[in-house]
Chain A
């Protein structure tokens, strides 16, 4: 079974429950007295999705102001970003909108954005209406779920939806049937380029086609000396 690594980062205000969501997903546990994350915490979990194994490389970032400047380090190169807000705190939803803006401007172009309204078990003290959040998420084509890390509501569903949305490399091959093989060729010859490319973005169908086009058209001049070219294509295309 094919194994794919998916880099996912969690963003959002301090205290909204980013770590709790990750703990529930990875360990299926919940600690009501969890301490604030310091810096960022890295965890992995492998789940089966259709005929593939998806290994989630999860970066759980700290929500505190002083770690704000570090966020690009984690969302850069991520296949998906889960932005979390607390349904009982209006201001965490405003912070979320800022994160969306930042990802638009500086994040990888094809990043899958998921919005999680956490603490939905506290419906009595809700401040953010589900409909408002859903409308906003739809307007930016983001995944939207209300979750409860405490009661294990919608946590696994959130990650399954990410698995579903992340374009797969071989289930939907680009029009040219031989493309995966070409891609393999590129990888064999230009591992350095691949490394740089991977840092920049996860290939979508479009990006992949573009690269392949470049590869086919300029196979004579495409050398290891130009990895930047590969790296820049997805952005140029968008």
Chain B
């Protein structure tokens, strides 16, 4: 079960280069401009990145997915490649808003939550709290079951149920049979079913042999975004079994009941779906760092880096789905999807709080054919700081456990525990620190580092429903910006309760939410101020000097 590490060299494609090409300026500009080269934007690592470089929806546009490849985004078409002045941007904005006029109506309609939706949300949150066993008991013939915002089903190609988000799989076997029927009916003609749009529902199909994943959603997400979430579920299953084992099983026995092997993991998948509905990390395809002084972070990283062992590939320190530090083997990069799966695993179970856990885990984007072995433990019981050590050797528990001990000892010796505890006490910063009056919230992602930052969600987004609505707005902007047939670089939109702005360049992505009181001109000029603020704070908000063993 030893995981062999493939020296990955396959990501040197046009979107994959991790270092700025030769000849590009290496000093970091004081005031970021739209022409900012990748690797120079605020938050970009000074010594390369920690992550594999990714594109939005890259998996959905890979050759794996057949005909979609031909629809891959032709980026920058119809837009000037290099916009260099703010005037240009303002002009683009006004052009865009006229272009958007046609769709603004339905956009507005889509953004406005109907009475019915609100009811669903509260229903859904209530459901979420209930234990898994209650979920299993849910009667699938009831109206309440139909009312869920998003259903997710996983089935085998033989039509056997593997997973259902709500209700028991057995009760749904005939429904799943119909789904498989639909899939295979179209396959006879060498076609593939992608989605069905009807009556406010989107039914999205993702086929990853030997599994079929289906989502039935009433959210405002685009088809691509829903498909992307389904892929996460697929990777989640791979992380438990590996691709090799999954395929082997179904080659041996086509009608195998996979639920046997996945028993006990439903909670992890449920948690992933819930997390995707409220954490923008998945949407951004990036990780968020716990804000802390650069000096402290570097010192912690050094301690982590020194507590190394031969079999270690990644050492990750995290707090509630926020990255504190990541040290990796020199030639190995982590894929954000793999990191998200690790974060989800840790947040889905309280069983890691006691003792030291040692579990096989496949990181499907890194190597889908083998298992790594993860040592998971919390540093102190009442402290939300989790250490994750990823090793290649399943026999190495005690060596890896000793790494943890050495790391803790170093922290203690240098007296950093207290400072760390302080940093953990303020896991979010307030948007008021930026000093832009009408600014309510923003998400900024540095593409080259694969990291993003975002302030705490504050009033008026207080209730769970409001928070979710804000995320849905971002999802909408994101899907517009990354639409495969018509990607947009700049979006300005005046909605019923907020003004929104999106700005996507080759170096960064910025999504901003303003109060309704501001004007478009003010919003555009505030972007500059916001970027300057992020640049000023970047060593606190990002990991600029990632370390290797």
Evaluate contact between B262 and A73: CB separation under 8 angstroms.
no
Q: Separation in Å of the B241 CB from the closest CB of chain A?
A: 7
Contact of A14 among B131, B264, B357 (CB under 8 A): B264
Does B260 make an interface contact (CB < 8 A)?
yes
Interface residues of B in 125-151 (CB under 8 A from A): 131
Bound-state Cα–Cα, A27 to B354, Å: 9
Evaluate contact between B351 and A37: CB separation under 8 angstroms.
yes
CB-CB under 8 A from A67, the residues of chain B are: 359-360
B148-167 toward A: CB 8 Å interface, digit per residue (1/0)? 00000000000000000000
Does A228 make an interface contact (CB < 8 A)?
no
CB-CB under 8 A from B264, the residues of chain A are: 14, 36, 62-64, 66
A107-150 toward B: CB 8 Å interface, digit per residue (1/0)? 00000000000000000000000000000000000000000000
Evaluate contact between A66 and B240: CB separation under 8 angstroms.
yes
If A39-B357, A39-B360 touch, does A34 touch B267 (CB 8 Å cutoff)?
A: no
Evaluate contact between B394 and A40: CB separation under 8 angstroms.
no
Evaluate contact between B357 and A36: CB separation under 8 angstroms.
no
CB-CB under 8 A from A14, the residues of chain B are: 263-264
Evaluate contact between A35 and B261: CB separation under 8 angstroms.
no
Q: Which size bracket describes the interface of B in this complex?
A: 20 to 34
CB-CB under 8 A from A38, the residues of chain B are: 345, 349, 351-352, 357, 359
Does B350 make an interface contact (CB < 8 A)?
yes
Does B382 make an interface contact (CB < 8 A)?
no
B85-106 toward A: CB 8 Å interface, digit per residue (1/0)? 0000000000000000000000
Does B428 make an interface contact (CB < 8 A)?
no
> Interface centre among A26, A31, A64, by most B CB within 10 Å?
A64
Contact of A41 among B267, B355, B374 (CB under 8 A): B355
Q: Separation in Å of the B130 CB from the closest CB of chain A?
A: 12
Bound-state Cα–Cα, A42 to B352, Å: 10
A45-69 toward B: CB 8 Å interface, digit per residue (1/0)? 0000000000000001011111101
Bound-state Cα–Cα, A63 to B263, Å: 10
B359-398 toward A: CB 8 Å interface, digit per residue (1/0)? 1100000000000001000000000000000000011010
CB-CB under 8 A from B360, the residues of chain A are: 39, 67, 70
Evaluate contact between B395 and A73: CB separation under 8 angstroms.
yes
B1-12 toward A: CB 8 Å interface, digit per residue (1/0)? 100000000000
Measured CB to CB, the nearest residue on chain B to A59 is B358
Interface residues of A in 10-43 (CB under 8 A from B): 14, 19, 22-23, 26-27, 31, 33-43
Does B356 make an interface contact (CB < 8 A)?
yes
CB-CB under 8 A from A60, the residues of chain B are: 355
Q: Separation in Å of the A102 CB from the closest CB of chain B?
A: 18
CB-CB under 8 A from A69, the residues of chain B are: 1
CB-CB under 8 A from A33, the residues of chain B are: 131, 350
CB-CB under 8 A from B351, the residues of chain A are: 19, 34-38, 41
Measured CB to CB, the nearest residue on chain B to A37 is B351
Which 10 A-B pairs give the minimum distances between C-beta atoms?
A39-B359, A43-B355, A64-B264, A35-B349, A41-B355, A35-B351, A36-B264, A42-B356, A66-B261, A38-B359
Listed A/B pairs (21) with beta-carbon separation below 8 Å: A14-B263, A19-B351, A27-B354, A35-B348, A35-B349, A35-B350, A36-B264, A37-B351, A38-B345, A38-B349, A41-B355, A42-B355, A42-B356, A42-B357, A43-B354, A60-B355, A64-B264, A65-B260, A66-B262, A66-B265, A69-B1
Chain A contact residues, CB within 8 Å of chain B? 14, 19, 22-23, 26-27, 31, 33-43, 60, 62-67, 69-70, 73
